[in-house]
């Protein structure tokens, strides 16, 4: 069985924290209104920057991984993000509770990532991973893991894709 590749959207695929007036090189701007975004007519749609090359990079990793959305976008990543990247519909982590309390000072997603992974090995890309998350996962997960923190001002880089490919080997 292949390891999971758990993919966050905001940060890794959408470097939302980059300077607003300077779209990162290689990215295109998309305006979106997912369910979690305010539907008020006076509010602009959410600005999302996506690098279309990331879709091909992720598809190349699908030989070694089972790709899964691990994002607050949940299944809406299949409607709003995946099509822009050329990705098929992917399974997603259906968080039982978002932004709630977490054990041992970990990020709120960490406990649910472990539940979703079961005993499978996994790599997880997210901009909110901390040393506390790495320690918690090491203590509580029986299989091999890679927790790769992505800079939310930069997004995924060539080095990140290389790291993911090397780890899967």
Interval 111-169: pLDDT, tens: 999 999 999 999 999 999 999 999 999 999 999 999 999 999 999 999 999 999 999 99
> Strand locations in 57-96, DSSP E?
66-69
State the pTM of this model: 0.93
d(CA 94, CA 71): 9
Q: Which CATH class is domain 4-168?
A: alpha beta
pLDDT at site 41? 54
Sign of torsion over alpha carbons 68, 71, 76, 81:
negative
pLDDT at site 38? 59
Where do the structural domains in the chain lie, given as residue ranges? Answer: 4-168
The β-bridge relationship of strands 145-149 and 66-69 is unpaired
| CB-CB contact of 33 with 135 (8 Å) | no
Residues for the chain: how many in total? 169
In this prediction, residues 7-20 reach a mean pLDDT of 92
In this prediction, residues 27-50 reach a mean pLDDT of 79
pLDDT at site 103? 75
d(CA 76, CA 82): 9
Two tokens, residue 78: 């299949």
Q: In percent, how much of the chain has pLDDT > 70?
A: 94
Q: Indicate the helix (H) or strand (E) that contains 131.
A: helix 131-140
Strands laid side by side in the 145-149 sheet:
66-69, 4-7, 122-126, 145-149
More confident residue, 50 or 25: 50
């Amino acid at each position: 069985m292949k390891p999971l590749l758990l993919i966050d959207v905001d940060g890794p695929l959408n470097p939302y924290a980059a300077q607003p007036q300077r779209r990162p090189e290689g990215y295109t701007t998309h305006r979106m209104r997912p369910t979690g975004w305010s539907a008020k007519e006076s509010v602009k749609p959410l600005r999302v920057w996506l690098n279309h090359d990331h879709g091909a990079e992720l598809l190349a990793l699908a030989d070694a991984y089972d790709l899964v959305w691990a994002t607050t976008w949940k299944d809406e990543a299949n409607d709003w993000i995946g099509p822009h990247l050329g990705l098929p519909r992917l399974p997603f982590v259906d968080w039982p509770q978002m932004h709630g309390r977490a054990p041992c000072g970990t990020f709120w997603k960490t406990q649910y990532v472990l539940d979703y992974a079961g005993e499978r090995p996994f790599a997880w890309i997210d901009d909110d991973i901390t040393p506390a998350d790495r320690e918690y996962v090491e203590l509580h997960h029986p299989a091999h893991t890679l927790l790769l923190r992505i800079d939310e001002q930069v997004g995924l880089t060539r080095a990140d894709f290389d790291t993911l490919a090397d780890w899967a080997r």
